[in-house]
Amino acid sequence: VPELQGPRYVSPVPSGGFVVSEECGDVKVFTSSHKLLCSLSSKYRHQFGNPTGVCVDRDGSILVADEQHRTVHLFPEHGAPVCLVSMGLRRPAGMACSSFGHLFVADTGENCVKVFKYCVRPS
């Protein structure tokens, strides 16, 4: 997949495609045939600082860690982004989601992995 601006972290999506964070401050979603599906900053009008870790949860929502803003946001397929973690992170990096609603975040600023439990209810 060419023409990425400093690709950092990548995660598969249930449809067979993948999501990738870029150093330039964007997160892009690609189809299984490697075609650009969307940019999260454009689709959701969200401004990233320095997106790092990305993962996809059991509902197909994309989660993105932002090193500069020290947050984790959830981007549902439909609806507005949700800030899941707004405090307690120094330098979030890699992430993973479990099928039980756990979010694992590697915090390189504190040399540890932080575990969060979350549940997003439809509005």
Within-domain flag for 1: no
pLDDT of residue 120: 67
pLDDT of residue 122: 59
Within-domain flag for 59: yes
Domain that holds residue 11: 7-117
Within-domain flag for 64: yes
Within-domain flag for 122: no
Give the CATH number, domain containing residue 48: 2.120.10.30
Within-domain flag for 37: yes
pLDDT of residue 21: 98
Within-domain flag for 43: yes
Question: What is the domain count for the chain?
Answer: 1
Nearest to 26 by CA among 7, 10, 41: 41
Low-confidence ranges of the chain (pLDDT < 70): 120-123
Within-domain flag for 27: yes
Instruction: Determine the Cα–Cα distance for residues 27 and 64; give it in Å rounded to an integer.
Output: 8
pLDDT of residue 3: 83
